[in-house]
Structure formats: structure tokens, C-alpha cells
Amino acid sequence: MRRVISDLVEMGPLPSSENPDIEKLEKYQELIGSIEPPVSDEEAKALIGILGPDECFGLAWTLVHAIESAPGWPLLGSLQGSESEWIIRLRERAERSI
């Protein structure tokens, strides 16, 4: 797994757009902006785990596009068991692409 992905995973889920820590948000933006697609299937699974409660000023959409660049996409097994808004979106997008 590339360092940029492991660094993002270490930071944890994207924060909510409500009352964000600007310094931390800038770090997320820097790391997410440096992801060069395609991501591996392993990296996509890791990125799925850091999607937060909302779009985080558009950063979640950037992650969605990176996740969907994985060669094994759709990774339906990684989209089960969660009712988060982003997992549902990814699941729906994956089902439409099959």
C-alpha cells in the first residue's frame, strides 16, 4: 500500500463539514490530492474505510473517484454491512456499473 494511502488511513475518517479543524482538513486535502489513480484493490478497500459522515467540502467525492479506479472495482464485498451514506452511494454506483 502506498504511503499516501496509509497516511490517510492513520488520520481516520474524513471529518464532518460542520466545525472542521482547518489544519487537519488541509492535511486531508493535501494527501487526497496526491493520490495517483488507479489505486489497488487493497488501497480502495482502505479508502472506503475513511469515508466520513458527509462530503467534507468535496473531498469524499475525490475519494469515491479514486476508489472506483481500482482494477477490481466494483468491490461489493467491501460495501456490505454499513449503512453510511457513502457506502450506500458506492454500492448503488457499483450495482449500476455491473
Mean pLDDT by 10 residues, the chain (98 residues): 96 91 94 97 95 92 95 86 82 81
Type of residue at 22: I
pLDDT of amino acid 64 = 94
Instruction: Look at the pTM and tell me if it is higher than 0.75.
Output: yes
Burial class (CB in 10 A: 0-12, 13-18, 19+), 57: middle
